A and B are shown apart, each in its own frame.
Chain A
Amino acid sequence: MLRLPIDARKNWQQMARDYGFHFHTMHGQAYWDETAYYQFTLEQIEKDLESPTEEIHQMCLHVVDLVSKSEERLTQFAIPSDYWQAIADSWQAKEPSLYSRLDLVYDGRSPAKLLENNADTPTSLYESGFWQWLWLENNVDNNQLNKRADQFNSLQEKLVNRFKVIADYYGISYLHFACCKDTDEDRGTVQYLQDCAKEAGVDDYFVYIEDIGLAESGELTDLQDQIMSHCFKLYPWEFMQREEFGPHALKANTGWIEPIWKSILSNKALLPLLWQEFKGHPNLLPAFFESDMASMNALSDVKKWVKKPFYSREGANIDILENGKMSLSSDGPYGEEGFIYQAHTPLPKFADNYTLIGSWLVDDEAAGISVREDKSAITQDLSRYMPHIIL
């Protein structure tokens, strides 16, 4: 695993405009960065990332099974009780999932360690599935990269195939898509998924989350008063479950993608449960609930802990606890539901950057990786996206 400099393609910003990649620069800072790339060996990809990703996913599904059947666990996960039955039903019915992204700490040598599972609303999908693929294609064509350079990236074709499976499962020929207003990144991610669905022969309708309506018949509607029989939502279940229309999300009989059983996976309470069930697994970090300080203290070789809220995204509200003292923390709006502690493992450093791997799954198959870099040890939403190759 190497970080290598490369010249940016001269026309990449024009290409970004042509292809509709509008969030390559955010808050005046580069988000897409092609002045360098990461190079992996095929063995690193297959042995250290691809296989562990699928294995971790299976362990996560084991936890879903456990939690969905236990009121005590559901309570511990701070999932409102009104949704327990729906979660159990959705899990029993094996409602199809579309995709997930595991965040992994990986340095090219040691086993990758799971930091968290973005199972409900992962973004950076377009730049992973399409844009970095285009970058590779261009640079190979321009002789900037070796002709044999490959990329771990079958995301787009797996997404298209998965939409076919989901359409068959529900017997549908069209699907609604929804995300929040005022975010280019979310809208771009959803538009990309709409394109993938269209490619799969599924018609797409779009509505903003804030515009979703309730019909007198109890169904949910878009702005054209069309009933949303099935909907992909780039909006977290934990938000929906605490909002006015939350109960209607269930009563309306809408088929949701991601399905509601995924609210167990996108919750960081998943991490202590994984450790409890698969203690010592090479791809897991020790993790405990806040209430279980005794177990933390018993692991005397772990000097540093990371305190994470059950629900948080993009590195918000994360504290690093060193010998019982807070050493680094990030601000944010999360944390009212509870916290977990996870053993700290440093992100590898490449040329002054902390590097984080996002490993994608479409349903239960590993489908590619994304590489993010940050100057800070906590990867925040301003970290940069770097392309990668296999050589």
Chain B
Amino acid sequence: MQTNSNQKRSSNIDLSKMRKAFSFKPLALGVASVLLSACSGGKEEAVVFKNVNDCADALPGMAQKCEAAYKGALAEAAKTAPKYNSKNDCEYEFGRNQCQTYNSNGSSIFMPLMAGYMIGNLMSPRPYYQPMFTSYSRYSSYRNNWVGADGRNFGDSRRSKLSVSPSAFDKKPAITRTISRGGFGSSVRAKASWGSRSSGKGWGG
């Protein structure tokens, strides 16, 4: 369409990015976003190594980068790996002897051992990295697959070369143990008893 020289509106809105059915369940939202990122293309190469030696063998002359990325991934694993209240729960998902204790404010919780680390953007001075986990449990859908801290499945763990979307290297929130929930929302429950606000309208203004 024709545009004014002093137009008062956004000149360009990407419709394709807005075409999306809202879903009101977080799980389904996750599915939608995976599908979306799948169509946006832009894959990049990444390599998974089981340890520093693996990495240094494969990448001669890059031992220092291998070491730095490994340490970074370990620290990231402690922060972002899924945490479990009991060793049993953790081993149910990741397999026997695949879990370690994690000390959180004096009490012990459990998280999977880092099984490897994924490196991307290898040629840059600061490659990206991300901790990777795998499961040996026959009860788990992650069995023999590479899995990220947020549960993203990267496929067969015998493969080391992966093609991933750039978001695979995004920083993730740290995981901790929650001791209580439901401390927000009571005002809404109190005020919702008034009127016919049972559906649709919200608490914004």
Q: Which residues of A does B touch, CB under 8 Å?
A: 17-20, 22-23, 26-27, 42, 45, 101, 118, 120-124, 130, 133-134, 136-137, 140-141, 147-148, 150-157, 173-174, 176, 179-189, 191, 195, 199, 203, 205-207, 209-217, 219, 221-229, 234-236, 239-240, 242-245, 248, 266, 313-314, 331-334, 368, 381, 390
Contact = CB atoms under 8 A, between A and B. Distances in A.
A222 to B, nearest CB: 8
Contacts of A331: 194-195
B158 interface: no
A188 B171 contact: no
Contacts, number: 226
A367 B19 CA distance: 23
A210 B182 contact: yes
Contacts of A183: 199-203
B37 to A, nearest CB: 10
Contacts of A211: 181-182
Contact of A224 (B12, B171, B175, B177): B175
A101 B204 CA distance: 11
A16 to B, nearest CB: 11
B21 A225 contact: no
B184 A240 contact: yes
A177 to B, nearest CB: 11
Interface in B173-197: 173-188, 190-191, 193-196
Contacts of B205: 101, 118, 120-123, 266, 313-314
Given A183-B203, A199-B17, A210-B184, A157 B104 contact: no
B1 interface: yes
A235 B203 contact: yes
- The 8 nearest A-B residue pairs measured at CB: A245-B183, A186-B202, A123-B204, A213-B178, A183-B202, A226-B173, A239-B187, A210-B185
A170 to B, nearest CB: 12
Contact of A227 (B176, B187, B201): B176
B25 to A, nearest CB: 10
A243 B196 CA distance: 23
A223 B22 contact: no
A332 B194 contact: yes
B64 interface: no
Given A157-B12, A225-B178, 12 more contacts: A18-B19, A22-B22, A133-B10, A180-B203, A186-B202, A189-B204, A195-B18, A205-B173, A213-B179, A217-B105, A243-B187, A368-B9
Contact of B104 (A136, A182, A210, A217): A217
A191 B15 CA distance: 15
B204 to A, nearest CB: 3
Nearest to B188: A180
A332 B181 contact: no
B124 interface: no
Given A185-B202, A214-B180, A314-B201, A133 B172 contact: no
Contact of A150 (B4, B191, B201): B4
A240 B203 CA distance: 13
A174 B79 CA distance: 15
B21 A20 contact: yes
Contacts of B1: 137, 140-141, 147
Interface residues of B, number: 63
Given A216-B107, A313-B204, A187 B24 contact: yes
A155 B202 CA distance: 21
B13 interface: yes
A234 B202 contact: yes
A221 B17 contact: no
Given A157-B10, A187-B24, A203-B170, A216 B176 contact: yes
A69 B15 CA distance: 45
Contacts of B18: 19, 130, 195
Counting chain A CB atoms within 10 Å of each CB, which of B10, B29, B195 scores highest?
A: B10
Interface in B60-92: 80, 82-83
A130 B13 contact: yes
B173 A228 contact: yes
Contact of B9 (A141, A154, A219, A221): A154
A153 B10 contact: yes
Interface string B1-41: 11010111111111101111110101001000000000000
Contacts of B6: 42
